[in-house]
Amino acid sequence: MSEVLKEKCGVFGCFNVDNATLINYYGLHALQHRGQEGCGILGYDDQDGFLLKKGMGLVTKKFTMSDFNNWNAKNSIGHVLYSTTGGSIDCNVQPFFFNLNHESFGLVHNGNLTNAHIIKNKLESEGSIFQATSDSEVLAHLIRKSKEKSRLEKIKSSLNVINGAFAFLLLFEDEMYAIRDRNGLRPLSIGKFNDGYVVSSETYAFDVTGSEFIRDVNPGEIIRISKDGIESHYFSKNNFNNVCSMEYIYFAHPSSTINNINVHNFRVKSGELLAQQSKSYPGEVVIGVPDSSTSAALGYARSSKIPFDIGLIKNKYSGRTFIQPTPELREIGVRTKLSVTKDVVKDKKVILIDDSIVRGTTSKYIVKLLKDNGAKEVHLKIASPPIKYPSYYGIDISTYKELLAANMSVEEMKNYIGCDSLEFLTLENLKTLFEPGQGCFDIFTGEYPVDIYDLNKGV
């Protein structure tokens, strides 16, 4: 329910796969939770060459079966786009396709570059032009401008110019490149599909498409996929496994596994640790904010021995809410999305688990909803530390202003939200869920794994 901390994009690609674009469609469908604003697929086949279909909206809205009937591509890349704020939206829908007389190629990107502004300035002064308001095109320009001889060397040298968080897929006529930044901030995995390969932001898309997980792409790695199979290269020697902790806390699908840690299990454990922080438990029932906090609530209940229950239910038919003329009707519109199992919370001291707090407006609403339905007390437990700093790697919380924890003490937050107590998972406890030295916690600590050059640049 976190209202601002939206996921930023998902990528999926196929190489040497029959019905590649349709498999790509299903891959993107499984990654839909990473972006609902736009989507697209670029396919390549020897006969018809590259063909691109992209546009605004969900994959089930943009594509229909007839789109795939005669699309015989065996190689493809696709993208789901998360919402950008303002600006020229339609032009940011990916894949980007670079149609050239020699070596046309396509690109999809999940992440954010921290020195894009500087590179764009330099490229522009040399005559390059850009069509999107996002940074994702920069890599394509660098590759084309590179003086290196081979394609691989061009890509390597270009990757060494950019900083930030990124998972890239590049599709050429005869090969695909799957690339992950040197800090491994964004997830990317490779799998097998019959005789071919698939690459995905999350392993859940392998389960759906019936692909077999091979391994994660490593930080700093370039995997080259061609008819000869897969080859591993590195563009960087100093690599770190700093996958963004928010992937586990909020973004990724519970069925996905990143760095050998299953997301659902991670969340269950975060709930257990959260319970172990307390010596006494103020509640009689533990409920989670659906869907992303159910796992943590389960963990909290297990460790605290307080019964877990289903206190909040999301409406599966919600759909679009009308713009309503009166406050009463607006409130009804909101209530169509989330309902309370009254008997579970009535006259009870409720322990409410949420994964994180960004602006706090949803938490405030839910606490009120529970109290309106008879909850005696609501104790809010957050399965991650307070988010005090903006993120610069493709997560849309780029300003201090909207971060509740950047502007209030825990006591002030408690009063704002209206709950009876408020507790966060400690950073120390969160870190125990990662291998030593791994994970990125910048939004909790303000310590960024890479230099930030473009602090004043919104996306």
Tell me the catalytic residues. 9
Site for its own copies in 230-259 (CB under 8 A): 253-255, 257
Size of residue set near its own copies by CB under 8 A: 102
Check whether 292 is labelled as a binding-site residue: yes
Check whether 355 is labelled as a binding-site residue: yes
Check whether 245 is labelled as a binding-site residue: no
CB 28 within 8 A of CB 37: no
| Residue 437 tokens, joined | 């030295």
From candidates 98, 234, 416, 453, binder to its own copies by CB under 8 A: 98
Site for its own copies in 76-95 (CB under 8 A): 86-91
**Residue 97 binding its own copies, by CB under 8 A:** yes
Residue type at 437? G
19 HSE (CA, 13 A, CB side): 13
Site for its own copies in 327-346 (CB under 8 A): 328-329, 331-333, 335-336, 339-344
| Residue 209 tokens, joined | 């498409």
Residue type at 403? L
| Residue 76 tokens, joined | 């493809």
**CA separation (Å) from 101 to 105, 128, 280, 387?**
11, 17, 69, 48
From candidates 6, 141, 224, 381, binder to its own copies by CB under 8 A: 141
Q: Side by side, which strands form the sheet with 349-354?
A: 285-288, 349-354, 377-382, 421-424
**Residue 195 binding its own copies, by CB under 8 A:** no
Sign for the CA dihedral angle at 441, 442, 447, 453 comes to positive
Do β-strands 164-172 and 105-113 pair in parallel, antiparallel, or remain unpaired?
Answer: antiparallel
From candidates 55, 229, 446, 458, binder to its own copies by CB under 8 A: 55
Site for its own copies in 346-385 (CB under 8 A): 373
Residues 6 or more apart whose CB falls under 8 angstroms from that of 233 comprise: 152, 156, 221, 222, 223, 224
From candidates 215, 322, 399, 451, binder to its own copies by CB under 8 A: 322
Site for its own copies in 387-416 (CB under 8 A): none
| Residue 382 tokens, joined | 């957050």
Can you state the percent helix, strand and coil of the chain, rounding each to 5? 30, 25, 45
Site for its own copies in 255-314 (CB under 8 A): 255, 257, 262, 264-265, 268, 291, 294-295, 298, 302, 307-310, 313-314
* Min separation Cβ 349 and its own copies, Å: 18
**Residue 160 binding its own copies, by CB under 8 A:** no
- Residue nearer to its own copies on the CB measure, 216 or 442: 216
Provide the annotated binding site for Mg(2+).
292, 354-355
